[in-house]
Structure 1
Amino acid sequence: MATIMALQSSMAGLSISNSISNSFFGLRLSPFLPSSPSSIKILDKPCAIVMKLKRWERKECKPNSLPVLHKMHVKVGDTVKIIAGREKGKVGEITQIFRHNSTVIVKDMNLKTKHMKSREQGEPGQIVKIEAAIHSSNVMLYSKEQQVASRVGHKILEDGTRVRYLIKTGEVIDSAENWKKVIKERTKAKE
């Protein structure tokens, strides 16, 4: 109510030229008073924000406008075999995952050509090969020792840790030694 009164007083103070004096600009606003306080509706749910994306680019969102993150059977550092698409049958390591649309980037696989503009004047443009994303359903965990791709299973060890393992071979993927190996390889690659 106070905001309506403030708006009315600010609108009344506006000076308008004589050419448009017959319009509504110089007139005071009539106050809007609801008949009862129960007629005012307060929304409990916030409105969903829809991003200006193409229909095929839209991300599924929760009520708080954050994207829905999907559970995935692979993690960064896993060795996988590509089971569908142009790169079918090739083996590589996962370097990045995107949980909002269930895609992964496999090292040196699914290379796409990107044409880059020059950043500075006089510098030529470039044609660069970049790794494009692959849907997680098109990759399968791979055992290097037995050279076989397998689905993933989950089990709890004696010490209470929950680990992933390959169903065909029984090989545990999430052991502490594997993670230490992956971290060492990442630090070597950065140096």
Structure 2
Amino acid sequence: MAMALQSPLQLDSLSNGIAGIGLNTPRPAVQASPKFSTGIRVAIKRWERKEVKENSLPVVKKLHVKVGDTVKVISGHDKGKIGAVTQVYTHNSKVMVKDVNLKTKHVKGKAEGESGQIVQVEAPVHSSNVMLYSKTAKVASRVGHKTLEDGSRARYLLKTGEVIDSAEEWKKVHKKKGEEKKE
């Protein structure tokens, strides 16, 4: 009795052999992935895959801005706004700028009988959308690096030549951070 093939699916099922086990085709090797339990769990979204080194540590990107810098937003719906950097996220190259990129968040009431609220929350901005800003010259500029007379390296604004990283400014920013953490 001759059997007529009606679709490529039937042809494939015939070549699979007995009970779906392939006789002619080699099966791909299945590699078991090692499971590490470090106790640290980071929840990232499916589309936010982080770049990692060979040892599975994330690649940290060096940014042109630091906490305490005054920046100007150069693109987006907040274009032209000026603010201070309050937080830096190196793993995804984003920065938090004070009073920039405000989002509306609806918060439920926690206690029974308490009404909900609508709160304005700052959201991070990508670091490529901000430029360092000089308050004295009132101009945004790219950043350069140079070695000072005492041998230390510092960042400076290319348009004005103004040095951004000074020891006094660094101490002020970190002193404020310490006071905020104590409270």
Q: Aligned residue for 1:18?
A: none
Q: Secondary structure, in 3 states, of the residue corresponding to 1:74?
A: coil
Match of 1:11 in 2: none
Matched residue type, 2:148: L
TM-score (structure 2 length as normaliser): 0.70
How many residues end up aligned between the 2 structures?
Answer: 147
1:149 aligns with 2:125: no
CA-CA distance at 1:137 after TM superposition: 0.4
- Secondary structure of 1:137's match? helix
* 1:77 equivalent in structure 2: 68
Is the 1:153–1:165 contact (alpha carbons within 8 Å) kept by the matching residues of 2? yes
Of 72, 91, 94, 1:100 maps to 91
Instruction: Determine which of 134, 141, 164 is the counterpart of 2:155.
Output: 164
Cα shift at 1:188: 7.4
Pairing partner for 1:120 from 107, 111, 122: 111
Show structure 1 runs of 5+ residues with no match.
1-42
TM-score normalised over the length of structure 1? 0.67
Q: Does 1:173 align with 2:169?
A: no
The answer (yes or no) to whether the contact 1:151–1:168 under 8 Å persists in 2 is yes
Contact 1:48 1:65 in 2 (8 A): no
Question: Between Structure 1 and Structure 2, whose CA radius of gyration is higher?
Answer: 1
> Residues of 2 paired with 1:102 and 1:48: CA distance?
27
CA offsets per residue over residues 137-176 of structure 1, 9 Å max, x none? 0000000000011100001111110100001111000011
Q: What SS class does the counterpart of residue 180 from structure 1 fall into?
A: helix
- The unaligned stretches of length 5 or more in structure 2 are 1-31
Cα deviations across residues 18-49 of structure 1 (Å, max 9, x unaligned)? xxxxxxxxxxxxxxxxxxxxxxxxx9x97899
Please state if 1:59 is matched with 2:50. yes
Report the counterpart of residue 128 of structure 2 in structure 1.
137
